[in-house]
Amino acid sequence: MGSDLTHVKSTPIPTHDEDSRSRSPSAALLSFNTDPSASPTPSSSPSHKPSTTVIFISLLLTTCVALSAAFAFAFLFFSNSPKSAPVYESSSLEYKARTLRKLDHPVVLLVSSDGFRFGYQFKAPTPNIRRLIANGTEAEEGLIPVFPTLTFPNHYSIVTGLYPAYHGIVDNHFVDPHTGESFTMRSHEPKWWLGEPLWETVANHGLKAATYFWPGSEVIKGSWTCPDKLCMQYNGSVPFEQRVDSVLNYFDMPSSEIPVFMTLYFEDPDHQGHQVGPDDREITEAVARIDKMIGRLIEGLEKKGVFEDVTIILVGDHGMVGTCDKKLIYLSDLAPWIEIPNDWVQSLSPLLAIRPPSGVDPVNVVEKMNEGLKSGKVENGKNLRVYLKEELPSRLHYAASDRIAPIVGLVEEGFKVEQTRTKQRECGGAHGYDNAFFSMRTIFVGHGPRFERGRKVPSFENVHIYNLVTTILNIQGAPNNGSVSFPKSVLLPAA
């Protein structure tokens, strides 16, 4: 999977700084209206002479631009002086990773912005995220989350390279059918958290990792001890600025002691997305704020002279879609076919997970439910389809664990399942749907010595990120669901 990624080269995009330097002259060239004599707009009196002048000036300018571009390229090709190294290097000149200048080992900083739906980067001016994109490698149509498109399953897939069925965090909340114990987002016992997360892999190699929040990072497991100064206990009230500054502080350590792998987590814009849906002004503001944090990070790394050495991987865990009260499906409406008691329902929406008690045949439950849903007599019934987990589309990889309930329902984009009718009316946002929906996609941007500048790659699933990180760190990773050849298709060869 992903091994057939084609290498898509894009037109080089200048950095934010270069962009603003060149903006004023080109803007002037384009604004014909500032010179009334040369105005080509129909409102001005049509005269032959001015339009000839416009064509002549345009030709002259085109020649100038072409000539300066030619000189610029010649300069890039023939200049070897490090002093005059351009801020932006054309991707066509890069065939190998850039060598580290200050650090004595590669460092990967994995940053997550929760619920950062793909496309949010166009909602607000995001100069800092754009700078990473322009000088790094981007999944052009977004990063594909794993199913279910929920926070805990996805964050843990990103750091283990495993689908939820294999890493054990099959939902944000679930029950272990063997022990009857419940998993919640506060469960830190290692028995829940299967697989080998990146911080553990790093520790296995005698290297240091630092986690500023990430689901699973506080779990003491294998050689990962969650050390006091490097492993933060989750506290959602810590200001984002403080999180960024703490990560920056690691770079003040002696070079050999700087952790090789770090995580940084922000709850936004997921938080706002649930309350108001993906299209509200609050989202725009939250996105702008995340961009500011990325700017704070870049600026801090630049001050320490390590920005070009550090690999920043910016991701989200899933997207967001608007939900509203007209798009509801009530389980109680299925009563003429089958009663679904509350205590059979492990999770309601958008991931419907049903575990009937022993003695009740799941096959029969699925049949009766689908009969009702297809009857045309259940409101919005056609927007929910119920499966035995083994019969779910195999692309979802959501069957191979006893923790996954035997019956799983897939809801159409933006629909919600509720137990019974209530008078409550609400509109907001949700995620957890089929990962094939574009609205569930999030972002992937890689910036650093092994990421080509200005490169776009096709969308890929987040289980490939684990191998990407171990390859950059040059360490042997644990077996996982990601493709072994994937890093080769995305990264520049080692220097």
Which stretches of the chain bind Zn ion, using CB under 5 A?
270
Catalytic residue among 126, 137, 151, 160: 151
Centre a 10 Å sphere on the Cβ of residue 396 and count the other Cβ atoms it contains: 20
Q: Is 151 a catalytic residue?
A: yes
DSSP track, 121-135: GGTS--HHHHHHHHT
The residue among 270 and 333 lying less far from Zn ion, judged by its C-beta, is 270
CA distances in angstroms from 74 to 69, 70, 77, 78, 374, listed in the order given: 8, 6, 5, 6, 67
Rounded least distance, CB 410 to Zn ion, Å: 18
Please, which residue, 39 or 187, has the CB nearer to Zn ion? 187
Closest CA to 154 of 385, 479, 491, 466: 466
Q: Which is nearer to Zn ion, 200 or 270 (CB)?
A: 270
171 vs 270, beta carbon nearer Zn ion: 270
Q: Which amino acid makes up residue 414?
A: G
CA neighbor of 348 nearest in space, from 405, 400, 423, 388: 405
Burial label for 445, CB within 10 Å (0-12, 13-18, 19+), is buried
Q: Which long-range contacts (CB under 8 A, 24 or more apart) does 221-229 make?
A: 221/190, 221/193, 221/197, 222/196, 224/197, 224/199, 224/200
E strand or H helix that includes residue 247 = helix 240-249
Which residues are CB-contacts of 374 (< 8 A; sequence separation ≥ 6)?
A: 381, 382
Helix (H) or strand (E) holding 311: strand 310-315
Question: What are the residue numbers of the active site?
Answer: 151
